[in-house]
Amino acid sequence: MSHLTKDFLRQQQRVLIKLRSELTGRHEQNVAAVDRDRGQLVEAGDAAQADESDHMRASLAEMGARGLTEIDAAIAKFASGRYGICELTGQPISKARLEAVPYARLSVEAQRQREINQRGRDSLRRNYGIEREAAFA
């Protein structure tokens, strides 16, 4: 981690903790709003809209959990000394990327390659129904 100063690491840790707190608070507010709206829909007898509300709540829960997982993983990396190290290449993640995306797991180059590979897998699935191709594994 020699590419990152101790001050920068402390700053990033504070940013991640703040992001986690904000995400948790926003998630709880959004779920409460969906629940309130669902209650009104049930009272009005609109079952289809109430079902849609249930789907919205599930989507919010999934998005919140995914975001918290990313943030928690980044916070855990401070203890192991792996914060700022690309999970695929083992190379340092640039300071600029970490400032932009404090929970980044991959360097810009590794992320770009992952996205190219994902587009290839998506294309195979779409065009041929192939779920996994050795070339993209």
Q: What is the pLDDT of residue 125?
A: 74
Q: What is the pLDDT of residue 60?
A: 47
Rounded Cα gap, residues 65 and 23, in angstroms? 10
Q: What mean pLDDT do residues 78-104 have? A: 94
pTM value > 0.85: no
Q: What is the pLDDT of residue 39?
A: 58
pLDDT tens column, 98-126: 999 999 999 999 999 999 988 887 777 77
- Which residue did the predictor score with more confidence, 54 or 84? 84
Rounded Cα gap, residues 40 and 35, in angstroms? 9
pLDDT tens column, 5-58: 999 999 999 999 988 888 877 656 655 665 665 555 555 555 555 555 555 545
3-state secondary structure 65-102: HHHHHHHHHHHHHHHHCCCCECCCCCCECCHHHHHHCC
Rounded Cα gap, residues 67 and 93, in angstroms? 20
Alpha helices in the chain (DSSP H): 6-44, 47-80, 95-100, 108-128
> Which residues, other chains included, contact 53 with Cβ-Cβ below 8 Å and sequence gap of 6+?
34, 37, 38, 41
Q: What is the pLDDT of residue 63?
A: 59
